Amino acid sequence: MLLEKKDIRGLSRTEIEDFLAGIGEKKFRATQIYEWVWKKGAASFDEMSNISKPLRDKLSENFLFANVKCVYSVASVDGTRKFLFETSDGCKFEGVLIPSADRVTACISTQIGCQMGCAFCATGQLGFKRNLTSGEIFHQVFLLNAMSAEIFGTPLSNIVIMGMGEPLMNYENTLAAIEKICSEQSMGMSPQRITMSTCGIAPQIKRLADDGIRFNLSISLHSAIDAKRNQIMPINRKYNLAELSDAIAYFHAKTGTRITYEYLMLGGVNDSLDDARALTEFTKVSPCKINIIEYNPHPNDTFKRTNSETLENFIRHIEACNIVVTIRKSKGLDIDAACGQLANKKK
């Protein structure tokens, strides 16, 4: 029986070193291979020009490149670019480049589809197919970085893990990809320029703290009232607000990191002053910032945007509680690239 080849992008440096030792190769070859795969972005073993052909052949016999490719892209009037990627087994997912005056941010995906089923999110309507591997997540970022340099004349400055999927349901692969992205022998991005967003998988938030992560954490909260959050975010039925609050307190105690809360304003659903009071009470658990997001409609939904007066009253209450609050301006609305709109749809 033939053993299935592993994607070389999914290996750690130690695994490469162990493989080379097992075939009698010198340890320095691991550095050369690592740089080809994760710094230069090789897509085949034949590109490794300073590696002998016998060793390239041996690598090819045991490993493969599970390459991700861009099959479609579209530009927004505001400069945002959305990309449809395809994996080697034909699955599709999306990534977004968001330019601003002094930076380019990549919004990346960690799963194909999503199993969280949030009522307001187009991705959730796709259902869930599978996790992206660590190699696929990394290759997505590598390609977006190259496209940022080509289109905007600058590499990525920030990454937000807010695309398709719930990253904490793909924990090991997501963290392995981040480790490669931040490695000085790879892209060398500071973890402080990376933000992971989660809908609130409480045990995994504690695990992040125990693992000593150095990137930023954002909580997709959207309601601080259990009955409402149960309706719009089914995960709350498994990990309610009390459990989430406990996990956030634990995370802050161990990391000292300030949490960001994402709060999507849904007209007539979660935008009353009672909702604002519940939100400010919930966020007392640790230092925080609140990002208010105006709703981005998508086909077949039942939600609407909050009107401007209600929005202003909501924000005024938060400010009165001395909490930092901003309105996050969504980009890419016209190409379905804004928050909650990623659904593998060409436009």
What sections of the chain are H helices per DSSP? 13-22, 28-34, 53-62, 134-152, 171-182, 202-210, 226-232, 241-255, 273-282, 308-320
- The catalytic residue among 114, 182, 288, 339 is 339
Helix count and strand count (H, E) for the chain = 10, 14
Q: Which residue in the block uniquely carries the two structure tokens 């970022």?
A: 141
Q: Give CA separation, 122 vs 254, 267, 333, in Å.
A: 34, 17, 13
The answer to whether 321 is a known catalytic residue is no
Q: Is the dihedral of CA 203, 209, 215, 218 positive or negative?
A: positive
With contact defined as beta carbons under 8 Å apart, do 38 and 183 qualify?
yes
- The catalytic residue among 17, 25, 94, 136 is 94
DSSP of 169-229, one letter per residue? GSHHHHHHHHHHHH-TTTT---GGGEEEEES--HHHHHHHHHTT--SEEEEE-S-SSHHHH
The answer to whether 94 is a known catalytic residue is yes
Which residues are known to be catalytic? 94, 339
